[in-house]
Amino acid sequence: MASKTFYIETFGCQMNVHDSEKVAGALLQRGYARVEAPDAADLVFYNTCSIRDKAEQKVFQRLQQFKRGANGKVFAVLGCVAQQEGEKIFERAPHVSLVAGSASYARLPELLARIEAGERRVTGLSLDTDETFETPLTRRDHPHRAYLTIIEGCDKSCAYCVVPFTRGPERSRASASILQEARELAEQGYTEIQLLGQNVNSYRDPSPAGWNFAQLLRQVARVPGIRRVRFTTSHPRDFGRDIVEAIDENPVLCNHVHLPVQSGSSLVLARMQRLYTREEYLRRIEWLKQSPRQIAISTDIIVGFPGETEEDFQDTLRLLDQVEYDSIFSFKYSPRPNTAALALGDAVPDEEKQRRLLMVQEKQRAIQIRRHAALIGSVAEVLVEGRNQALGQWIGRTAQHRILNFTHPDKSASLLGAYLPVLVTRSGPNSLVGEAVTGAVV
Ligand code: 5AD
Ligand code: SF4
């Protein structure tokens, strides 16, 4: 008999993408084969995100689409919408058989076995697991860069955020297990590792070594064969100067830090329960800017949080001018179930949120155009991540996490996965263009 097949579709952040890689690993281990279309699958997994309402609405639309021509298939809903909505999903989408949140994936083999035994409705919704989800067969989607989980869950209580409810309390993974996986990745040929967690800065090694995040970073940077280490996401409250010092001392640690600010107004930050003021945030930016390694800085911004006045919003625009971020992600505030901000209502009308969002994005675009233009004439090392056949260009990524597309005089060269110096010759708001500095594959 042909083996059973599965299809997995993913929405949301890197944690979700990586969770799907692990789920795929667990399924492959059980003898399932992966297919790239839901129609061809016996088991359809849908890994969901509920960070904003729009993402959540998509889930039920997509589940309806899956349903067409679905006879005999098993449908599973995973991720943050699964955790948040729980058994209600069975009511809205009766064709679903499995609903499980990320804190329960360690139990996935058991849940799958129950499905295979014919159980019609199975849930994994407990948030009190101590286990982290590790699978020896984790299948990375990217050939050179690998995600590696160091901490799961979140103990903060930002007033707008569902994550503490959907991913449960913080659980740090033992350092020996992290280093073991990093070594295995290097042996498999990965050269870049991205350490993942909702708040990596609060990492605390549960084993006797007791390392904090900066200590862990230094150790991962030492793994032979690993040329780049990144990490996401940081929380400004827990972001210590020792992290900047570790980056200063280790060229393997990429000179890029994502430090979500959310708002430039201390009043809004207090209502968001972010646990830092604008001034405290800017102190961390100063540490980063003083680094000799020219650390690129990116951030997340929410506009239209309840009670955000025009003056508060202007504080956010001024912060963008002051920090001059290398890139930002910006969002309109979206009220979420269970969160503290629900009690504050949703006072800023959508048109006004939209206006503020566009103003943030316009300002940032001008900043990026200016900053990118200043890079023309410089040389940066890229990891070659892809090829754009139509443009005859390779797609490179710098340590600062910029896209640098480039040409290479040797048209037959196979450059995927190589590290190359590239001269920047042109710039745009979102990427750079350049030419490989040849004769020097490093
Ligand atoms: N509404 C809008 N944006 C949100 N984010 C998190 N929760 C919300 C929400 N309710 C944004 C934050 C976070 C990023 C991942 O998503 O900026 O850093
Ligand atoms: Fe979406 Fe947040 Fe869940 Fe990631 S942790 S999938 S961003 S809700």
* Virtual torsion, Cα 189, 217, 137, 10, nearest 10 deg: -100
Task: Check pLDDT > 70 for residue 287.
Answer: yes
Average pLDDT across the chain, whole number: 94
- Cβ of 235 closer than 6 Å to ligand 2, yes or no, is no
Distances (CA, A) of 178 to 3, 79, 213, 385: 32, 23, 12, 25
- Cβ of 262 closer than 6 Å to ligand 1, yes or no, is yes
Query: In the predicted model, what is the mean pLDDT of residues 396-411?
Result: 96
pLDDT grade for 24, boundaries at 50, 70 and 90: very high
Query: Residue 300 has what pLDDT?
Result: 98
Task: Please give the domain boundaries of the chain with CATH numbers for all domains.
Answer: 5-128 (3.40.50.12160), 145-373 (3.80.30.20), 379-436 (2.40.50.140)
pLDDT grade for 205, boundaries at 50, 70 and 90: very high
Determine how β-strand 192-196 pairs with β-strand 403-407: unpaired
Determine how β-strand 393-398 pairs with β-strand 403-407: antiparallel
pLDDT grade for 439, boundaries at 50, 70 and 90: low
Nearest to 47 by CA among 79, 76, 25: 79
Q: Which ligand is nearest to the CA of 299?
A: 1
Task: Check pLDDT > 80 for residue 240.
Answer: yes
- Cβ of 274 closer than 6 Å to ligand 1, yes or no, is no
258 alpha carbon to ligand 1 midpoint, in Å? 14
Nearest to 84 by CA among 123, 129, 122: 123
264 versus 140: which is more confidently predicted? Answer: 264
Q: How far apart are CA 29 and CA 46, in angstroms?
A: 19
76 alpha carbon to ligand 1 midpoint, in Å? 25
Query: In the predicted model, what is the mean pLDDT of residues 365-372?
Result: 98
Range of 53-57, 91-95, 236-240 with top mean pLDDT: 236-240
402 alpha carbon to ligand 1 midpoint, in Å? 23
Question: 131-153: buried (b, 16+ CB within 10 Å) or exposed (e) per residue?
Answer: ebbbbeebebeeebbbbbbbbbb
Range of 135-144, 373-382, 406-415 with top mean pLDDT: 373-382
- Cβ of 11 closer than 6 Å to ligand 1, yes or no, is no
- Whole-prediction pTM value? 0.94
- Cβ of 199 closer than 6 Å to ligand 1, yes or no, is no
pLDDT in tens, 57-95: 889 899 988 887 677 889 999 999 999 999 999 999 999
Range of 20-34, 47-61, 135-149, 303-317 with top mean pLDDT: 303-317
146 versus 442: which is more confidently predicted? Answer: 146
- Cβ of 371 closer than 6 Å to ligand 1, yes or no, is no
Q: In what order do the strands lie in the sheet with 228-232?
A: 145-149, 192-196, 228-232
| Phi, psi of 3, deg, nearest 5 | -70, 160
391 alpha carbon to ligand 2 midpoint, in Å? 34
- In the block, residue with structure tokens 């993942």: 196
Task: Check pLDDT > 50 for residue 303.
Answer: yes
245 alpha carbon to ligand 1 midpoint, in Å? 29
Helix (H, G, I), strand (E, B) or coil at 231: strand
246 versus 442: which is more confidently predicted? Answer: 246
Q: What count of other Cβ atoms lies within 10 Å of the Cβ of residue 306?
A: 19
Query: Residue 37 has what pLDDT?
Result: 92
- Asked if the bond preceding 233 is cis, omega within 30° of 0, the reply is yes
Q: Which ligand is nearest to the CA of 331?
A: 1
Q: What count of other Cβ atoms lies within 10 Å of the Cβ of residue 115?
A: 16
Helix (H, G, I), strand (E, B) or coil at 76: strand
- Cβ of 103 closer than 6 Å to ligand 2, yes or no, is no
> Read out DSSP for 40-58?
G-SEEEEEE--SSHHHHHH
Q: How far apart are CA 337 and CA 353, in angstroms?
A: 20
Nearest to 432 by CA among 392, 406, 404: 404
Q: Which atom of ligand 1 is nearest to the CA of 332?
A: 2
Output Rg (C-alpha) for the chain, integer angstroms.
23
> What is the three-state SS of 307-366?
CCCHHHHHHHHHHHHHHCCCEEEEEECCCCCCCHHHHHCCCCCHHHHHHHHHHHHHHHHH
Percentage above 90 pLDDT, the chain:
86
Query: Residue 1 has what pLDDT?
Result: 46
Q: Which atom of ligand 1 is nearest to the CA of 162?
A: 7
Q: Which pair of tokens denotes residue 18?
A: 């990586």
